[in-house]
Structure formats: C-alpha cells, structure tokens
Structure 1
C-alpha cells in the first residue's frame, strides 16, 4: 500500500481556501486538476473540535486531503463541528449524502458514532483518525466500511521526553494535555518514560485542561496558558503539550516565562504565526496525520482499501518523530536517534498509559 510509503514524504506548508456556511457546520470546498479517471473523486473531511486554523491536528489532516486531491484530481469538502461538537453524526451523514467518498473523520471523538453512520451508508468508505475501524467486540464497525488511521503517539512522545530531559537545566519538565482521555494519556506516558530514561529522577509535572468528556480543552488557548504557566511557575523549564489549538496558550506562557515548549502533531515552529511563540518552540512531536490521510485517499483511489481494519503509523514508518527546525536540538540528535533505534528494534517498549 502507498500509505506507508507516503509517510516518508510530504511538506507541512499550509494553504488557505475559501469558506462558506452550510447546514451542520462551516464548510470549505475546492477542486484540483488531475487525470480524467480521477475526476469523480470527491473527498469529505469532518474536523475535530476547533476546526481549521489550529496549526496542529486539524490543519495537518486538511493538508493531507488537499495534497491528495491536488495529485489525483477531484473535489474536496471539509466541515467543522458546532461549538459543543454535538453535530458530529450530522457532519458525516451530510458528506455521505452529498456523494463524498471517502469520508474522513478527524479525531477519536467520532469513534462512538462513526459505526452507526457507516451502517447507514454501506456504499461509502469511511476513515477515522486516532480511532479504530474495529469495535470493542472485535467486529468491524458499520458495514465493514471503516478504516482506522492510528499512530503510536507514545513512541514520538518518548523522544520528546528524551529531548526535554537532555535540554532541561532545571531537572524539571511538564506536560499539558487537552482532554484527559486514554489517547492523550498515551502522549503523557511516552513523554514521562522518555524523560526518565534520559535523566533518571527528573520531575515531570502533568496537568490537563479539561476532564474526559469535555472536549473544550482542545480549543481554549487562554486556559492552556494558565495551566502551562502554573507548571513553569512550579519550576519547569520545558513543557510539552498535546492540546490542539490550546497549545498556543502553552507557547504564550513559555514566552512570558523565558522558558521553552514542545509542539505536537505538526512542525509548530513552521506553522505558528506569532514570532514570540515561534522563538520558544524547541521541537515538535510530529504525528504525520497529513501523510496518513493522503495515503489513505491514494489507496482508495487505487481500490486497495478494504475497511474493517486499522493502519498504524509508528517510528518504523516515520509516522511519528521529532522536528529539527530551528536547530535547537541538533546537538542531541545522535542520542535521540539511539533511543529511536532501541524502540524500533524492540529493546525499549514504550508505555501507552501513565
């Protein structure tokens, strides 16, 4: 499959498109040239909380869809949930009803409803980022027409923990999670394990912006700043966030404190607009949602998607990793690479839960 191969490529430059309002959420649509055989390709994407403009998770998913449509030709449409994200099922149904196929749900929050929607549209192929195409009972979701696009985020976060520990002069680092869920706890677990491996006895403070079930923690930069500031005030000199758009607040707190931060999902040194925020981002844990989405769409266009299964992107496929933009961690790259080799060889098993 090309999904794995595409994990080795793809730029992270983000581009804008026109937008308008449609029932069920904010939508933007466009088309791109391509071969005549791909002209019928219509790709739909439903965002996680906050939608476009988070400089992270959602933007990366859009980039993957945009790259695929630019390469293959066809049409794209993206929809954003309402403020409380209660209309997630309607967004997926709307895209399927309008003939978009495949339809991609961005975020594990769609996991509870995508199976029901997929059952209603058995001729539509669905994918879900950060969740599984298989239910807790081991049976394929929907009509066997859902593919999970998953990531070994704990592995990339382990390397982020290594980098934080090696660069910390305070022997004290921190983690800010957007919402306290098992997925985000896997980022926490990997980060803490990596920090401890690189510098035994290091202090790792952990705080979450919102509890399980309250997804506002992914779209509240003001609260992210307050939470991160508390960690910096307690003595940490580097904070890693897995908090979506709220990460902007973490960067603001780092800048105000004269400290450092670690971004997530995208190379946030490249994606943030604020020079003050950019200056404090020493690295980002890359979760290549863009490549996973692009690879899935490419596989779909070639007829090689079967559904009822998962594609796992990890260090071995370069589906996760660290950015080196800005040169802040170039001097410890050799040590980071050694830990990465131990993970891919199986010598280190990274925990997925705190």
Structure 2
C-alpha cells in the first residue's frame, strides 16, 4: 500500500513540476495588432486568463506597419519562448516552417487547420455557421433587400464568412442583393488595419441602397461601424461582441470564442496534455454565436428571433447541410 501511495505521490509531484521554471509564451497577433476591439483583443483575453492561472511570462509580437511578421521576427521570438501562439491565416506558412526549426517547442495557431505536424495544435472556427445566421438575420431585417459585406483581405478564412453570409441571406430572403468588397487582395493583410478606407467603402455601400453591412475586417471594421452610426444604418460586428461600439446601429455581432480557444489550448499545454492537429468550434457548444443584441433587440420582432433560433438548431442537427470545406 505504501508503495502505491509513494508512486502516486511521485506522479503528482512530476505533474506539478512539469515546468522547472515559469514557462515563456510568445504571442503573435494578427495584422492589426492589439486594440482592435475584435479579433486580436478577443484572443488576448483568453491568453491573459491562462497567464493569471498558470503564471507564465508573456512576450507579445505585433506585426510591423506593413501587417507582416518576418521569419527573423518569428525565430527571434521562438528562441525566447517555450510555447508560441499565433493568430490568423497570414501566419500559416511561417508556423509550419518555424515549427520544423524548433521541434521541441509547442505551437498553437488560431484560425486555420494544420494537420500532421507533431508540435502544432490549431483552433479552427466554423465561421460559415455563424455567418449563415448573421446573413439570415440580415435577410429578415433588411428593408431595402440590399445588404453588404466588407472583408479585410481576400483570403479563404474571410471568404468563408462571405459565403456563409450570402447563403444565410438567400435562405431567409431569396433574391436579396449582397454587395461585396475587400480592402486588399490575398497575401496583403493591410486591409485589416485601415478604418478610414473601411468607413469610405461602407458609406459607398450605404449610398448604393445597403441598409446592413457585415464587417469582417479587424480594426478596419471600426470605421465601418462608425459609418453605420453616422448614416443611421446597421453594421454587423465580428469576432467579439461589438454591439456597444455604436449602440443601436450594430444589429448583432458574429462572435468567435477565440478567448476560450486560446485559454483551452494553453491550459492543455501547461498541464502536459498537448495534442497536435485541429480542434473545431462551431454553433454546437457556442464556439461561434450571434451576440445578445441587447441594443437592437427592441427593433427585431420575436418572430424573426424565433426563426433565427430554428435555423441555429437545424444547423446543429445537420438539417441544414454544411460541408466541411466551407469552413476550412
């Protein structure tokens, strides 16, 4: 009996001392950096929660003014870190490259799936599902039968938002016109960091009869939401709950719980439970969702809200079929 208790004690002691000294976590933000009140800030909240619980040192790397992170930046950070967590599709190739250089270090990338690399874990959101709901809501609420979509860069992750938004609007209100614009082409991530241009594009779409615009553009979205406020129209926020940025003019926000994903991924590593490959977050389990709409709920009928809830349940039950490649 004493031997068994002794063995258990040793195992517990080893688990508690898995890190001989406080680990170092390197955090690489998306192109617009912290303070965007969206993509980056949402994930940062989860990282800070993990830091408070596990007491690791945090080093933050924000991309240069060009919105890019260089290989040198990345390897310098990896030299100093035990774990590296990165945001955004822009870091997909660099993550795979640097993970090969540092096989003994753990990498977490949030937004894109990376498979079959032993030291990379990825958190992927079924943004198509949440965007489908946002599009359905816009289809039910629009009075002009014209809505808009403005994306930061023309990359697959943002195009999935666009597709879900279009399909949701068509499901709710067939024939709805969707105006679509991107600030920058694939490979150029500066479109996530240009509120002035976002404002101009939004005002142009509102001038072309759109009364609701879905912004998937990071910090640029703040300019789009300001355009909604000034024009008396609606915007739809993204990633975090942005409803309070223009109370009454943000119809809803399509929330991606990157805070939960970042926290859970870091918690597993700190407890020695690292698992490579992608983990998916969707409507089931509230990995993605619409906001509470507390500033606009009085403008949306109970009938519409019931329809949105029915659609949500149908997606979860797979009664509305969504192919895997629509959110990858």
Does TM-score exceed 0.5, indicating one fold? yes
Look up the SS of the partner of 2:61 in the other structure.
strand
Aligned residue in 2 for 1:119: 100
The change in CA–CA distance for 1:191 and 1:86 in structure 2 (over 3 A counts) is closer
Correspondence for 1:213: 187
Q: For 2:266, which of 297, 321, 325 is the aligned residue?
A: 297
Q: Aligned pairs, how many?
A: 305
- Aligned residue in 2 for 1:21: none
Task: Select the residue among 276, 280, 284 that pairs with 1:316.
Answer: 284
Residue 42 (structure 1) shift: 2.4
Is the counterpart of residue 224 in structure 1 residue 198 in structure 2? yes
Contact (CA 8 Å) 2:239, 2:256: kept in 1 or not? Answer: yes
Structure 2: runs of 5+ lacking an equivalent: 1-15
The match for 1:336 among 281, 299, 308 is 308
> Separation in 2 of the partners of 1:85 and 1:163?
32
TM-score (norm 2): 0.88
Decide which structure has the larger Cα Rg and report it: 2
3-state SS of the aligned residue for 2:82? coil
TM-score (norm 1): 0.82
More helix by share: 2
How far does residue 113 in structure 1 lie from its aligned partner after superposition? 1.4
Matches within 5 A, 1:1-354: 40-98=22-80, 100-134=81-115, 140-141=116-117, 144-270=118-244, 272=245, 277-307=246-276, 309-329=277-297, 331=302, 332-350=304-322, 352=326
Output the CA distance in 1 between the equivalents of 2:67 and 2:223: 21
Equivalent residue of 1:244, what SS?
Answer: coil
**What RMSD over aligned residues (CA atoms) do the two structures have, in Å?**
1.8
Structure 1 residue 84: deviation in Å?
1.6
- Checking the alignment, whether the CA contact within 8 Å between 1:132 and 1:150 is kept in structure 2 is yes
Offset at residue 216 of structure 1 (A): 0.9
Flag as ranges the 4+ runs of structure 1 deviating above 6 A: 35-39
1:327, distance to aligned residue in structure 2 (A)? 4.2
Q: Deviations over 1:41-81 (max 9, x none)?
A: 32221011121011100111111100111122222221101
Q: Secondary structure at the match of 1:119?
A: helix
Question: How far off its partner does 1:174 sit?
Answer: 0.9
Tell me if the contact between 1:92 and 1:103 (Cα under 8 Å) persists in the aligned partners.
no
Q: CA deviation at 1:37?
A: 7.1
- 1:69-123 CA deviation, whole Å, 9 max, x = no partner? 112222222110111244343333222211x222111111011111111111111
